[in-house]
Amino acid sequence: MGKINEIFRTFGPEYIALHPDLSTNQRKVIDAIINCRTGEYGATVYRCEGCGEMHVIDRSCGNRHCPQCQLHKTRQWLHGQLARTLPTDYFMITFTVAKALRPFCLSHQKEAYGAMFRAAAGAIKKLAADPKYIGADLAGFTGVLHTWGRAIPYHPHLHFIVPAGGLDKNREHWLPAGNRFYLPVRALSKIFRAKLHDEIEELGLLNATEPEAWNTDWVVHCQPTGNAQAVLKYLAPYIFRVAISDKRIVAVRDREVTFTYTKVGSNRKRKMTVDALEFIRRFLLHVLPTGFMKVRHFGFMNHNCTIPLEKIRTMIIVQRKDMAFLLADRNQGQPPERFKPVCQACGANLVFLFSIIPVKPSRFAREGPE
Is 209 contained in some domain?
Answer: yes
Q: Which residues of the chain have pLDDT under 50?
A: 329-333, 363-365, 370
Is 104 contained in some domain?
Answer: yes
pTM summary value? 0.86
Nearest-5° angle of CA 354, CA 355, CA 358?
150
Count of Cβ atoms closer than 10 Å to residue 324 Cβ:
8
Is 164 contained in some domain?
Answer: yes
Q: How far apart are CA 194 and CA 187, in angstroms?
A: 11
- Give Cα separations from 39 to 36, 42, 43, 58, 150 (angstroms): 8, 5, 6, 5, 33
Q: Would you state the torsion angle of the CA atoms of residues 278, 279, 282, 283, taken in this order, to the nearest 10 degrees?
A: -140
Number of domains in the chain: 1
Is 2 contained in some domain?
Answer: no
Is 199 contained in some domain?
Answer: yes
The reported pLDDT for the residue numbered 234 is 74
The reported pLDDT for the residue numbered 242 is 76
Is 52 contained in some domain?
Answer: no
| pLDDT tens digits, 226-259 | 878 878 877 776 677 678 888 899 999 999 999 9
Is 4 contained in some domain?
Answer: no
Assess contact for 140 and 305: CB atoms under 8 A.
yes
Domain carrying residue 185: 71-243+285-332
Is 352 contained in some domain?
Answer: no
